[in-house]
Each structure stands twice: as structure tokens, then as C-alpha cells.
Structure 1
Amino acid sequence: MKFKLKHLVFLIMLSALGSIFYGLSLKEDDPIAPKFIGGGTIGLFLVAMPLFLWKESKVKNMKDYMLTKENIKKMQEKERKNTENQ
């Protein structure tokens, strides 16, 4: 069975959210509750999000997002067409 990166990111996200909700469900005076919340937050923002962004940006061409003269002209032409249609 081939395990894809999107499945790994999804599992990390689910476990991080589960950890956050478990930490929130514990009593406030429980000393381990902030550790679950913090661990889930770290997993979500420092592990799952960068993995997701890296996975999605692999297929993008960065040249399309650079502000070159050609791309600026294309954007200005699209603006003119949109304003004419309104």
C-alpha cells in the first residue's frame, strides 16, 4: 500500500486537533492539559502546515508568481477587460 504525503498531513492534522480538544476537555486544574494543547498547536502549525505548503508548492511554477514586466502587463490587461464587462 502506497502511503501518500497528503494522508500523512491529514493524520498529523487530526492528531493535533485531537490533542487540542483532549487538552481542552480536561479540567482546568489538571497540570497536563496545557501540554496537550501546546503539543497539538505545535503539531498543527509547525509540522502539518509546513508539510502541506511544501506539498502544494511543489507543482507550482514560481515564475508565474514573480512580478515581472510581462506579468504586470497581463494583470493590467485583465483589469481592463473586467472593467469593460461591468
Structure 2
Amino acid sequence: MKYFLIVSFLAILITGISGFVVKPDDLEGGNFLIGIAVAAFFFLWMPIFIYHRWKNRSVKDYMLTKENIDKMRGYSKDKNL
């Protein structure tokens, strides 16, 4: 999954850069490539990246429950903040 994300990011980046390089009189080809790169980045790459980063994590660790608040208070007392 890591390598897929890297390769797809590079492909999207190259597509976006090539959109700036294409001459403007080529029937709006540059704008089309930039649009495809932005759409692919936000609708394909970002959801896959977010899933990859969060797939083995528990949401309960990030919720403000009484136990987590008590842990934070105990941590600040130990560090003498």
C-alpha cells in the first residue's frame, strides 16, 4: 500500500506539472490535465491515504472520555507543568 501511494502521488504530481507545461493554444489541454490531477488527488489519493494511516487505530484512544481526561491530568502532574 505504501508503494502504491508513493507511485500514484508521483503520477498525479507529474500530470499536474505537465498541465502547466502544455502550451495554452492546445485546446485547453493544460487546464484539463491540471483538473484531472486535482480531482485525482482529492477524490482518489487522499481517501486511500487516510484509510492507510487510520486502519489499525482505535477511535477510543482519541475521544475525550473520563479515563482519558484522568490520564492527561496524571501526565501533567508527573511532568510538573
Corresponding position: 1:44 with 2:41 = yes
Q: Which residue of 2 aligns with 1:27?
A: 23
- CA drift of 1:64 comes to 0.5
Counterparts of residues 1-86 of structure 1 (less than 5 Å): 5-30=1-26, 31-82=28-79, 84=80
Indicate if the aligned counterparts of 1:23 and 1:34 stay in contact, CA closer than 8 A: yes
Indicate if the aligned counterparts of 1:13 and 1:43 stay in contact, CA closer than 8 A: no
For 2:29 and 2:73, locate their aligned partners in 1 and report how far apart those are by CA, in whole Å.
Answer: 55
Instruction: With the length of structure 2 as denominator, give the TM-score of the two structures.
Output: 0.84
Q: Deviations over 1:13-60 (max 9, x none)?
A: 111111100001122343111110011111112111110110111111
How many residue pairs are counted as aligned between the two chains?
Answer: 80
**Structure 1 ranges of 4+ moved more than 3 A:** none
Structure 1 regions of 5+ residues with no counterpart? Answer: none
Indicate if the aligned counterparts of 1:9 and 1:48 stay in contact, CA closer than 8 A: yes
- CA drift of 1:71 comes to 0.5
Indicate if the aligned counterparts of 1:12 and 1:44 stay in contact, CA closer than 8 A: no
